[in-house]
Structure 1
Amino acid sequence: MIRRAVAQDAERLTTLIRTSGAYRGKYASIVSDYRVTPDYIARHRVFLALDVAGRLLGFYALVREPPELDLAFVADEAQGEGVGRLLMEHMLEQAREVGLTHVRVVSHPPAEEFYRHLGAERVGTVAPSPPEITWERPELRFTVT
């Protein structure tokens, strides 16, 4: 099930980000102090995927201006189960509903292939922004049709 996030979801979204296996080692600095706040949820289109027991499987945040997929995470134990694809399909539906023509993605380097597999095009590279981000990141774009 996918539903819109509410303020009470903020803490568990933060926990999912901070415990993500994709951000261990050299990538840990980008999420170590990151926090999803109730205000963030109120300002953006944040949706989460839950299993039938209500367990958080993943979430995304779509920013409308400028159009960007700001956050997208799938729980480590749900990787490879189609949750990410389901969330990205939902995100593109939401983008279409609000009239967006494209959605920018500044990707975590290991996730680039995932986004490209779902139809995103690489359009550039985002330079590091030390001290938190000391590596280049792929910039991609989904065309909303």
Structure 2
Amino acid sequence: MHIRPACPDEAGLLTGIALRAKAYWGYDEAFMAACREELTLDAAAVERASTVVAEDGGRVLGFAVLTGAAPSGELAMLFVEPDRIGGGIGRALFEHVREQARAAGLRRLTIDSDPNAEPFYLAMGATRIGSTPSGSIPGRELPLLEVELAPGA
């Protein structure tokens, strides 16, 4: 497996991964329909952010999106194909983005986490600093997490 920059023409493929990965947690059709727009990438979104993919044997297995500018950034998306969840791809993507953020001079990353993904991010060194409203589901709150990248962040 290797991690490389995403190509703008992969936006549809990445959207499919995001939707399948979100559905992995057992959300119903109405919930998934409400999330569709928020989980949809287009070529401009891929170009605008720092988007990377994890690829193995020509198959894209997951992706991550880093946004922001020093001193703070956001891990805006991190999704892995459901048949590969638990296989280290999420960890590899997270570590790659963390190093990318450090190299860009970011001192901290925030993450609006799905509640099901919160344990993963906590295991990766994030801490919960509050909650944030869902961009898709009115009244739903998401865990707001932070990863410190530099002392004093």
Q: Give, as a single letter, the amino acid of the residue that structure 1 aligns with 2:54.
A: A
Match of residue 13 from structure 1: 14
TM-score, scaled to structure 2: 0.86
How far apart are the structure 2 equivalents of 1:43 and 1:69?
14
> Comparing both structures, which one devotes a greater share of its residues to strand?
2
Match of residue 4 from structure 1: 5
Q: Give, as a single letter, the amino acid of the residue that structure 1 aligns with 2:53.
A: L
Contact 1:112–1:138 (Cα < 8 Å) also in 2 = yes
TM-score, scaled to structure 1: 0.90
- What is the number of residues matched between the two proteins? 143
Match of residue 98 from structure 1: 104
The alignment partner of 1:18 has SS state of helix
Match of residue 125 from structure 1: 131
Q: How does 1:107-126 map to 2 (within 5 A)?
A: 107-126=113-132
Distance 1:7 1:138, change over 3 A: same
How far apart are the structure 2 equivalents of 1:27 and 1:123?
25
Contact 1:103–1:144 (Cα < 8 Å) also in 2 = yes
Task: Using the TM superposition, give the Cα deviation of residue 41 of structure 1 relative to its aligned residue in structure 2, in angstroms.
Answer: 0.8
Q: Give, as a single letter, the amino acid of the residue that structure 2 aligns with 1:5.
A: A
Q: Give, as a single letter, the amino acid of the residue that structure 2 aligns with 1:28.
A: M
Unaligned runs of 5+ in 1: none
Q: Give, as a single letter, the amino acid of the residue that structure 2 aligns with 1:24.
A: Y
The alignment partner of 1:93 has SS state of helix
How far apart are the structure 2 equivalents of 1:133 and 1:46?
27
State whether structure 2 residue 153 is matched by structure 1 residue 139.
no
The alignment partner of 2:58 has SS state of coil
Contact 1:29–1:132 (Cα < 8 Å) also in 2 = no
How far apart are the structure 2 equivalents of 1:109 and 1:68?
17
Distance 1:48 1:128, change over 3 A: closer
How far apart are the structure 2 equivalents of 1:18 and 1:59?
12
Task: Using the TM superposition, give the Cα deviation of residue 17 of structure 1 relative to its aligned residue in structure 2, in angstroms.
Answer: 1.4
